[in-house]
């Protein structure tokens, strides 16, 4: 808005100086002095004032940029968390190897300072993140990438063994079901066979007395004792 106003004031004053537009008309006086037309002076003064405000804009923009660069605490905490996550991930990968506390923090700060995603962060934030990463070094060593990968591989193998064992149990249950069904079928067939055998035996016992009487009586009426027919012994009971 200031730039637009300054441009309009300069154009209007220039056109008034060239005679295209009339000057601002303003009657003014001071004390007993006569009244004069001060419009031209007011117009030129306003134009100069607006131009001065326009020249003041770059310095104001720099001040606003500095104020925006002054980060709030919440934003600092977000940056610290981001830098700490980067340092902790590198620590878990085994990037840092110095044992001294001062050297370890210094090494982490150098790593974070050279990281492409953390170039715009303030040194205090990088220092805080480096100190946090150094404090959690034992945690990073305990849950390092190599150990985590070994644990995941072990759990994966155990999972495969459990799945294989479960598959074998399912196969055994299927076989057991088939054997049980087969056993029931055989028992039914045996029961049917025993029933048929019992019925045949009963029919045979009913038929044997008639056959024995017919065999003991000769057809010519002779003495049965003189007959050469051999008497049949009764059949043994089926076991």
Q: What is the pLDDT along the chain (239 residues), one digit of tens a residue?
A: 888 888 888 888 888 888 888 888 777 766 666 667 777 888 888 888 888 888 877 777 777 776 766 555 445 667 777 777 777 777 777 666 555 555 677 777 777 777 777 766 767 777 777 777 766 666 666 666 777 888 889 999 999 999 999 999 999 999 999 999 999 999 999 999 999 999 888 888 887 777 777 766 665 555 555 444 444 445 444 44
Structure tokens at 170: 């399912």
Residues 235 and 216: their CA atoms lie apart, in Å, by 17
Q: What is the pLDDT of residue 227?
A: 47
The helix/strand/coil state of 37 is strand
Q: What is the pLDDT of residue 167?
A: 93
Place of tokens 């303003």: 26
Residues 53 and 2: their CA atoms lie apart, in Å, by 7
Q: Whole-structure pTM over 0.85, yes or no? A: no
Q: Is 19 left (phi over 0), alpha (psi -120 to 50) or beta?
A: left
Residues 6+ away with beta carbon under 8 Å from 208: 232, 234, 235
Residues 6+ away with beta carbon under 8 Å from 121: 79, 83, 112
Residues 131 and 71: their CA atoms lie apart, in Å, by 20
Q: What is the pLDDT of residue 69?
A: 61
Structure tokens at 30: 């001071």
Residues 7 and 10: their CA atoms lie apart, in Å, by 5
Please say whether the beta carbons of 52 and 40 come within 8 A: no
Helices (H), the chain: 2-18, 39-69, 73-92, 101-113, 123-135, 137-142, 145-216
- Name the nearest CA neighbour of 131 among 162, 160, 88: 88
């Amino acid at each position: 808005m200031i730039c637009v106003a300054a441009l309009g004031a300069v154009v209007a004053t220039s056109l008034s100086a060239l005679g295209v537009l009339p000057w601002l008309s303003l009657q003014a006086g001071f004390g007993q002095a006569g009244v004069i037309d001060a419009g031209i002076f007011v117009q030129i003064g306003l134009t100069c004032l607006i131009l001065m405000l326009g020249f003041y804009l770059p310095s104001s923009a720099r001040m606003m940029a500095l104020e925006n660069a002054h980060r709030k605490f919440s934003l600092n905490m977000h940056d610290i968390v981001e830098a700490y996550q980067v340092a902790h991930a590198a620590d878990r990968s085994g990037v840092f190897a110095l044992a001294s506390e001062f050297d370890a923090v210094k090494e982490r700060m150098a790593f974070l300072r050279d990281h492409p995603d953390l170039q715009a962060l303030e040194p205090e934030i990088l220092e805080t993140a480096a100190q946090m990463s150094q404090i959690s070094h034992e945690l990073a060593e305990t849950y390092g990438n190599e150990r985590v990968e070994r644990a995941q591989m072990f759990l994966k193998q155990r999972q495969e063994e459990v799945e294989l064992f479960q598959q074998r149990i399912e196969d055994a249950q299927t076989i057991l079901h088939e054997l049980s069904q087969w056993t029931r079928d055989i028992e039914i067939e045996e029961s049917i066979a025993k029933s048929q055998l019992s019925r045949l035996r009963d029919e045979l016992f009913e038929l044997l007395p008639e056959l024995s009487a017919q065999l003991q009586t000769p057809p010519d009426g002779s003495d049965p004792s003189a007959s050469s027919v051999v008497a049949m012994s009764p059949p043994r009971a089926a076991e």
